[in-house]
Amino acid sequence: MTTVHEPAVTTAADALSVWPASAVEPRDGELTVGGVPLAEVADRFGTPVYVIDEDEVRERCRTYRHAFPDAEVLYAAKAFLCRAMVHWMAEEGLGLDVCSAGELELAVTTGFPPERIVLHGNAKSPRDLDTALRLGVGRIVIDSPSEIARLAAAVGPDGHQKVMVRVVPGISAGGHEKIRTGTEDQKFGLSIPDGYAQHAIARILDQPQLELTGLHCHLGSQITSVKPYLAAVRRMVGLMARLHEQHGLVLRELDLGGGHGIAYRPGEPALDLTALARKVRAELTEACTAAGLTVPRLIIEPGRAIAGPAGIALYHVLSVKRTGAHTYVAVDGGMSDNPRPALYGVRYAPRLVGRRSTAAPAPVTVVGRHCEAGDIVAADAELPDDIRPGDLLAVPAAGAYHLSMASGYNLVGRPPVVAVDDGRARLLIRRESLEDIRSRDVGL
């Protein structure tokens, strides 16, 4: 993620701009989310702990449904998935985008309709495909030519499966090179210029048990500009026009993926969802009209933009170390529960909660407890100069790609997830215990 040096925060509203809408500061030093004091959550469930505001998640789902009333909105489960999240998506009318048999089975066994699920993946395992067919997944996105024959054989001569093809539109967009997936020469999708996409589509059309419903693309993640999506629409419609000319093919769906960027720190940009919806709809209509095509149904796949701003990570300070020009504030979590700073250089804005401080803010580096120099939770953060062991820190915009990417590094154990709503807190995912870790180790 590109480093952004935002202007100094001057108001309470600015300071809470990246927090859930329910976040309020009833007294100096206290912060509540969903009507629940964060210090109370930490006392009850321990730290590290993730807090997710259920109403914020639901409101963001409704915002997408309102902005894209004629589109199919699929929640990208890779951002964060649990049974409660599956339930919320079902109730709010969203579909699901999953990337593995594990995500798929969790969703379906929670009661989510499989026909509203799309399976992705650049390297789907036999188990992924078998599970998708067994559970009756709605669509499978084909990402490589080898998948076509494997999928057709698994479906069988009398079977039927709806599929899409992931196309590389050749557009560079995203907050970091590691999360840009719309460019040539990377592992996802099939290229247009070298003919791989067209060749794969022709092969699918020769398989009667596979029904090609549309094209799919995904430009990357943490995109804050509308322009790349408009360019993608033009290139995808151009391919659809060529396919219609060559095969008489009329595709009824166009999936533009997700990657909608959010602000992690006050002052950072976020994608304007209203502008995106309006301009993409206009661009798609204009491009299809010019090409003489029926306008396909649009599909979008937000993940981070739904889960990210709804989540908060809570940590207790273990030590404060001043060395030379730097102050290091070490907390009881780190890269095992949030690898994003190490992977992408992401910057957060942690906040002291649970006590009032009159000390002036000072620059610090919030670091984790793991045996790794790159275990940094928040670089260049500002916290009160009297920060001390035992203090509670809250990190906003922590709902996406934190716990979902958590590891077992140093056998620390993954944190629990607690939902807050209407003044109540309830456990969604329990803390991973030493017994959990021991029970997997069967080699003695």
Q: Which residues are catalytic?
A: 371
Within 10 angstroms of residue 291's Cβ, the number of other Cβ atoms is 14
Would you say the C-alpha torsion 112, 142, 297, 162 has a positive or negative sign? negative
310: helix, strand or coil: helix
Q: How far apart are CA 117 and CA 161, in angstroms?
A: 13
Long-range contact list for 179-184, CB < 8 A, 24+ apart? 179/220, 179/221, 179/222, 179/259, 179/344, 180/219, 180/220, 181/218, 181/219, 181/220, 181/221, 182/217, 182/218, 182/219, 182/220, 182/228, 182/232
Q: How far apart are CA 164 and CA 118, in angstroms?
A: 9
365: helix, strand or coil: strand
DSSP at 8: P
In terms of C-beta density within 10 A (0-12 exposed, 13-18 middle, 19 or more buried), how is residue 163 classed?
A: buried
Closest CA to 143 of 174, 187, 184: 187
DSSP at 284: H
| In contact, 52 and 417? CB cutoff 8 Å | yes
For 40, 110, 111, 112, 419, the CA distances from 84, given in Å and listed in that order, are 22, 9, 11, 11, 9
| AA identity, residue 142 | I
Q: Token digits for 190? A: 């099939």
H or E stretch at 393: strand 392-395
| In contact, 95 and 114? CB cutoff 8 Å | no
